[in-house]
């Protein structure tokens, strides 16, 4: 009898302990969330969505969706704010975690395509439009409060309100909160770590446009360099240039594979392609070479000759053209992706502003004085984020033709330098890598694509999206929960849906090195090691 009671007691204890690790079931109905009281925010819709195919509010269709609770809301932290956000929560099978997602460009839309994958993996997820509509003209850029909403407040408002909605629905707060974003979303992630370090336990910041005001000058610089017929760079010309760069530097990493592991080690002069006599299809004119020099150099102050922003890396050349989709070169009526609207509305209040009139001396001072404090996520002080035990993974394509890769390197090294002045002992690089790691992807363009292995975030990963060896969010999740820092993340390249190259991305300042044997297109043939010089 005593034995029976003992076994029952043990069974009850086991059940009690296991329930501690099991997400609670929803204690309220989805539809009842419309009455949820939030600070400076209102729930406008709460609707149960059945499993299967779902059509998002913007018309995008997603298949294989679990049953979930769709919540829409609007936050109004200022009198002019209207920050729309959306929260999706699995009806069953919630993993107890939350993943916020970021934006791109000038935002203005909720990125549903970034919300669907985490929902399918069991996360509650949320996105925001950051408080404005993408409809032209971009008049919101004339209002400082709306610019702040776009830069950082909108994402923070989404995060705090999403957590409140999740806690109300499940009757418990998320055990882990992660964030993932690229480009503008990468900047938003760095802003979160700098301004709101308590928001997320882990952050993935990809190809961040965090030095925003100077990214804008870089876009115009490239546009001005190629705005005349004589300086136009066709796709064929860019391919010729790229081929010459590879011929000069492809073998520096010990492998001839069409990729340059670290373009900083490449020393290439485009004048080797200058035409002699009659122009030919496989040579460049002096005017074209002058434009290329400017693109590699990046914007420079004409009086002080100081760099304003890094130029584009050697190996990014093909991405300057139509391969990227929205090239910054060969512009005739506007500049760049976001710079044209930024300068004509936010800076000069002139819808007819001519990008050719921008100067890189006084205008830089003007813009930085007005906007740097509210648009640039460049503070190296991540000390509070670190003290909380939170983790940051940053990645960047080394052939990025939009947000130059060297900007990420500069920011990372500024954090290492900041750690060197903190009152603790030990190596500042190690102290940084204890909470913040930067991964570079050779041959990858902006946030993906390109000739190099570039898939490491989502359903197409080798091993699937829940494999921390191949997926950056899963690697972050494991680091946050188990303390296992990623020593490499394996990226995959696909051609027509077939995986044909894998390569480890290594935490900077390490790079992938070929072992000297094995297939050169297989990650197993590489190891991560420091380059000579600079770091140990």
Rounded distance between C-alpha atoms, residue 28 and residue 171, angstroms: 8
- Per-residue pLDDT, 534: 38
- Per-residue pLDDT, 133: 87
29 pLDDT more than 80: yes
Least confident of 107-116, 411-420, 523-532: 523-532
Which residues are registered as beta bridge partners of 182?
Answer: 206
| Count of C-beta atoms within a 10 Å radius of residue 25 | 10
> Residues 487-511: what's their mean pLDDT?
96
Under 8 Å CB-to-CB from 486, ≥6 apart: which residues?
A: 393, 437, 439, 468, 475, 476, 478, 479, 507
Q: Of 262, 235, 237, which Cα lies nearest the Cα of 251?
A: 262
Structure tokens given for 520: 């050169």
349 is catalytic: no
400 is catalytic: yes
- Per-residue pLDDT, 278: 65
Structure tokens given for 92: 């069953």
Could you say which of 149, 199, 207, 400 is catalytic? 400
Question: Beta strand pairing status for 41-49 and 68-75?
Answer: antiparallel
- Per-residue pLDDT, 226: 97
183 is catalytic: yes
1 pLDDT more than 50: no
Rounded distance between C-alpha atoms, residue 493 and residue 450, angstroms: 9
Place of tokens 């399918």: 120
Question: Beta strand pairing status for 83-90 and 124-128?
Answer: antiparallel
CA distances to 11, 194, 321, 375, 384 from 199, rounded to whole Å, are 38, 11, 38, 19, 12
- Per-residue pLDDT, 18: 42
Q: Which residues of 411-422 are buried (b: 16+ CB within 10 A; e: fewer)?
A: bbbebbebbeee
Report the alpha-carbon angle 129-131-134, nearest 5.
65
Structure tokens given for 493: 């390249």
In eight-state DSSP terms, residue 149 is I
Under 8 Å CB-to-CB from 426, ≥6 apart: which residues?
A: none
pLDDT in tens, 48-94: 999 999 999 999 999 999 999 999 999 999 999 999 999 999 999 99
Q: Of 21, 16, 23, 18, which Cα lies nearest the Cα of 166?
A: 23
Which stretches of 250-361 are DSSP H helices? 286-297, 339-341
Rounded distance between C-alpha atoms, residue 76 and residue 38, angstroms: 11
Q: Of 464, 334, 321, 468, which Cα lies nearest the Cα of 402?
A: 321
Could you say which of 81, 180, 183, 399 is catalytic? 183
Confidence of residue 4 (pLDDT cuts 50, 70, 90): very low
Between 42 and 425, residue with greater pLDDT: 42
Confidence of residue 136 (pLDDT cuts 50, 70, 90): low
Q: Are 218 and 401 in contact (CB under 8 A)?
A: no
Least confident of 224-233, 289-298, 416-425, 470-479: 416-425
Judge residue 264's burial from the number of C-beta atoms within 10 Å of its C-beta, 0-12 exposed, 13-18 middle, 19 or more buried: middle
Structure tokens given for 359: 């100067």
Q: Of 283, 272, 268, which Cα lies nearest the Cα of 313?
A: 268
> Residues 412-424: what's their mean pLDDT?
93
Query: What percent helix, strand, coil does the chain show, rounded to 5?
Result: 40, 20, 45
Confidence of residue 134 (pLDDT cuts 50, 70, 90): confident
In eight-state DSSP terms, residue 415 is H
pTM for the predicted model, two decimal places: 0.93
For the chain, the domains span 214-241+266-375
Q: Of 113, 118, 117, 68, which Cα lies nearest the Cα of 98?
A: 118
Structure tokens given for 472: 């950056």
pLDDT in tens, 194-240: 999 999 999 999 999 999 999 999 999 999 999 999 999 999 999 99
Phi, psi of 83 (to 5 degrees): -95, 105
Q: Give percent above pLDDT 70 in the chain.
A: 93
Under 8 Å CB-to-CB from 500, ≥6 apart: which residues?
A: 493, 494, 521
- Per-residue pLDDT, 137: 72
Could you say which of 132, 214, 242, 446 is catalytic? 446
Give the three-class secondary structure for 85. strand
Mean pLDDT, the chain, integer = 92
Q: Of 354, 227, 386, 243, which Cα lies nearest the Cα of 294?
A: 227
Give the three-class secondary structure for 240. helix
- Per-residue pLDDT, 428: 95
> Residues 269-289: what's their mean pLDDT?
88
Structure tokens given for 192: 């979160």
Give the three-class secondary structure for 376. strand
Locate the DSSP E strands across 309-451: 391-397, 436-441
501 pLDDT more than 70: yes
């Amino acid at each position: 009898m005593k034995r029976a009671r003992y076994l029952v007691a043990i069974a009850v204890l086991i059940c009690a302990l296991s329930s501690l690790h099991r997400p609670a079931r929803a204690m309220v109905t989805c539809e009842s969330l419309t009455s949820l009281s939030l600070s400076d925010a209102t729930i406008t819709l709460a609707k149960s969505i059945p499993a299967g195919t779902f059509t998002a509010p913007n018309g995008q269709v997603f298949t294989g969706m679990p049953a979930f609770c769709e919540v829409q809301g609007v936050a109004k932290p200022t009198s002019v704010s209207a920050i729309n956000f959306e929260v999706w929560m699995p009806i069953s099978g919630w993993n107890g975690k939350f993943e916020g997602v970021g934006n791109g460009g000038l935002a203005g839309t909720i990125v549903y395509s970034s919300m669907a994958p985490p929902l399918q993996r069991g996360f509650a997820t949320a996105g925001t439009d950051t408080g404005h509509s993408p409809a032209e003209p971009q008049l919101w850029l004339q209002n400082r409060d709306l610019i702040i909403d776009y830069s950082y407040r909108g994402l923070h408002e989404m995060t705090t309100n999403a957590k409140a909605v999740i806690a109300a629905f499940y009757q418990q707060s998320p055990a882990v909160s992660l964030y993932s974003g690229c480009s503008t979303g990468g900047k938003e992630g760095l802003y979160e770590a700098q301004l709101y370090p308590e928001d997320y336990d882990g952050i993935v910041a990809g190809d961040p446009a965090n030095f925003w005001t100077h990214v804008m000058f870089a876009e115009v610089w490239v546009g001005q360099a190629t705005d005349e017929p004589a300086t136009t760079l066709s796709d064929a010309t860019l391919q010729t240039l790229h081929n010459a760069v590879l011929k000069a530097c492809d073998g520096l990493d010990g492998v001839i594979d069409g990729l340059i592991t670290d373009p900083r080690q490449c020393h290439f002069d485009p004048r080797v392609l200058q035409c002699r006599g009659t122009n030919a299809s496989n040579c460049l004119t002096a005017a074209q070479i002058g434009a290329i020099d400017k693109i590699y150099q990046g914007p420079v102050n004409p009086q002080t000759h100081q760099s304003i922003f890094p130029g584009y890396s050697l190996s990014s050349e093909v991405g300057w053209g139509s391969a990227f989709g929205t090239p910054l070169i060969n512009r005739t009526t506007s500049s760049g992706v976001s710079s044209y609207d930024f300068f004509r509305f936010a800076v000069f209040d002139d819808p007819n502003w001519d990008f050719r009139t921008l100067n890189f001396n006084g205008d830089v001072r003007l813009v930085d004085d007005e906007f740097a404090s509210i648009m640039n996520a460049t503070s190296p002080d991540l000390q509070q984020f670190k003290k909380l035990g939170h983790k940051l993974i940053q990645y960047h394509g080394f052939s990025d033709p939009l947000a130059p890769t060297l900007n990420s390197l500069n920011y990372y090294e500024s954090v290492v330098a900041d750690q060197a002045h903190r009152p603790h002992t030990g190596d500042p690089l190690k102290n940084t890598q204890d909470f913040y790691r930067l991964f570079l992807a050779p041959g990858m363009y902006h946030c993906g694509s390109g000739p190099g292995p570039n898939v490491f975030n989502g359903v197409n990963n080798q091993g699937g999206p829940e494999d921390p060896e191949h997926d950056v969010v899963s690697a972050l999740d494991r680091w946050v929960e188990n303390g296992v820092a990623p020593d490499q993340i394996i990226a995959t390249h696909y051609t027509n849906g077939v995986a044909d190259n894998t390569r480890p991305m290594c935490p900077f300042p390490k790079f992938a090195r070929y072992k000297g044997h094995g297939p050169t297109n297989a990650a197993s043939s590489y190891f991560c090691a420091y380059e000579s010089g600079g770091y140990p």
